[in-house]
Amino acid sequence: KRTDEAFKELQTLLEPLDIKKYYTDDWGAYKRNLPPEQHEVGKTNTQKIERKNLNFRTWIKRLARRTICFSKLESMHDTVIGLLINRVEFGIDIHAYH
């Protein structure tokens, strides 16, 4: 839900990531709760982020559809997402370590 309380919960979850800049839409909670020097409204800098999100969703469809590789275990989903992020963001391929 797009409430100030929901945003504050999200902000608390993001604190350990030490985010320097937020690129958002024009939702009022952002203006009320983010320092102006850290907040920019608009889509100018979000294209790469949205493309990466689309790639992740495409690569890990197994999390959304019940296919032969679908798992009900949350720990398995966390593992698959972690491996994908390590591969894409850091170039770490677990298959290279035989």
**Any idea where the domains of the chain sit in the sequence?**
1-41
**How confident is the model at residue 69, as a pLDDT?**
66
**How confident is the model at residue 35, as a pLDDT?**
93
Phi, psi of 81 (to 5 degrees): -65, -45
Q: Report, as ranges of residue numbers, the positions in the chain whose pLDDT lies below 50.
A: none
> Measured between alpha carbons, how far is residue 17 from residues 10, 11, 20, 70, 87 in Å?
12, 10, 9, 29, 19
**How confident is the model at residue 79, as a pLDDT?**
87
CA–CA distance, 98 with 89 (Å, rounded to integer): 21
**How confident is the model at residue 9, as a pLDDT?**
94
**How confident is the model at residue 37, as a pLDDT?**
95
**How confident is the model at residue 7, as a pLDDT?**
92
